[in-house]
Structure 1
């Protein structure tokens, strides 16, 4: 989102000064710019009035006056900021939020499902003590370039940003390059398909068994905006496989029969690891199933389990 010569900005990062080089793409074709102060202040106000608990997509709905179910359910259609950004279209607001993150005025909080939070650098702008210049969104032009094939839609861009923030956080904690958590293509597929559970997450390209175990729940939390259920490791190991559905069915049967058909007998249950073994080996004869379960469990669950396995 640079506004001027790339060489000048690069040297400024290292504490040096320089004249515009006249050779980079921004010197050759300077971007169109506009005074983004008012738009940024509106965006910051919307974030603060909603407790800094939402991502760009929801904030844009508020600013543009979109009466979505989520906006109405939370009463955000009654906020003073509701509809104050109707002068800009959704695409432009996407660019505003993207550049605000680029200027470090807002950051996605990976611990709060990617919600955007204001930084100290934004306070002077919010108080009217500073202004900011932004570049006009050139997404339409960029879409003609081959690289744009790797981009997500405007609707998915905020989620992709939150996923990258989560990846960066995990990489920093593990002392690894970000791409070793998940590469960009995998994050893009997450943003586009929005898997709702570990089974769907496991089907995304680049998600193997190890990464599913390590990172699946955390990324699902970012995608859904909700804390995911504490999935037992035995079930997590079956994610994305047909055996996972069998495991779920066996668990349901066990819950119904734990005290017998009448609900008055002494409790009998199978461990999660045993249910996983049954789901994976998928015995279809009573003898094979009884050998796995043992006499007491076979007596309680054998017939019902076998019916489920033979379906």
Structure 2
């Protein structure tokens, strides 16, 4: 970066956004784009991706055009920029005709620094012609993984974005995403014609997130215990696979005294939008949602993300868990997982009308997700390896904190496979386990399965343990689940060497689900760790002031100030505008707008 642009970008970072220095690869990315070069940026959620296009847009002449699929969040992004004095607007279907005309006029006359556009709107002839008549500083393609047909969040309109390179060959483009395995990365480059772009791949590690996957017993009760024990009164997200389960889980959590809201694509649009706004703008709300909720969520103080159902892929899991702890403070990624999850996901793939190649890729992604669930080693190592990153055990996931015991399960697996074979591979998990355990049910007698040589050979092993063994056998590819109405279990070719005694099988020991034990290091608000009594009093007063201010401005509280900024104010307790201006996250516009109020508030506590 030339000295001039270097100084200009750093000055904008400090004066507008209130940060003393760039983090990680931000400076190099800003340099590349500010100089007119293309870039592909892979950076974990909360890593500061937005500054990588916002600052070059302010350094370069013209308006920065941000392509984003997140219509529901554009308003908050524009509000956040307005708070720091950046001229920003959006173009999407939520606007009135007059509002659209006003934004288009500002764009054409150069009275905007940034404009957010939904991809569907961008591809209209009217919008493309307007952009050609305007002075464009750059194109930022956010959530660029949406271009991948094999990915977890494919959006067909993203494929057409290659038109930007064809119609605006001299305008730099930066594609950004938090989630892309090597295959998806290659597809982004190919689809968006970014072959000449510099690639910036940050570490995928989020060390502040603790990963935990537990045996599913009663999922709703387990998630309730987890929230009450670990995160009472804190904001979090609970993901469910179906709309029905979302509704039922939200109702259950509310009955138990939590402040929970549902969110799924089948809800009335206005109700869904109101629930999302409430989650973003208020403290302590638990959002129960399908994966329709969350991409691009900027709320920094989400303390936990729970999964009540198995995600379809590691990319999806990583993207969803990445919504926790964006402020860098400790957060939890917690999941319950059982045999039915494996059966259900396998069935969804088999029953889909997708072509064979797509099913094969989805099966491989599910296998990788099952491998993460069933691993006896560090979950973080497994997760990062999937994205091509080497790592050492983290000491902050369940398998590091409480290492599972592995055991030679060859004999048990042989018993399981033999039983599946003896019942003619026509029955589901429950029936097979009943035969193994010697349960004399009417169904077993009806089929005369109590006369089989395998009847009762596993009577010394509990039902839940057999389910864990079966689940791992499916994950290892020894058993397949038919997509008939019964979920019949079938043997695969890989089962043969096990039955013949030619292959040894090692599995994780079944661990009975236990009630959460609250960890002192996770104490609510982290006040005991970081703030003294007086400092905590200032922090709480600042929080109430922020709630009122956000309400007046009709923006989420974190748009005013992040918790991390307020925590630093509480610790330092500045007594002058100049001192307050040295706090990270306090730029010139916010200092001018709120400085006097904050100094007066600090003084009032003393």
TM-score over 0.5 for the alignment? Answer: no
TM-score range, shorter chain: 0.3 to 0.5
Higher relative contact order (CA 8 A, sep 6+): 2
Structure with the higher helix share, 1 or 2: 1
More strand as a share of residues: 2
Q: Provide TM-score, normalisation by structure 1.
A: 0.42
| TM-score, scaled relative to structure 2 | 0.22
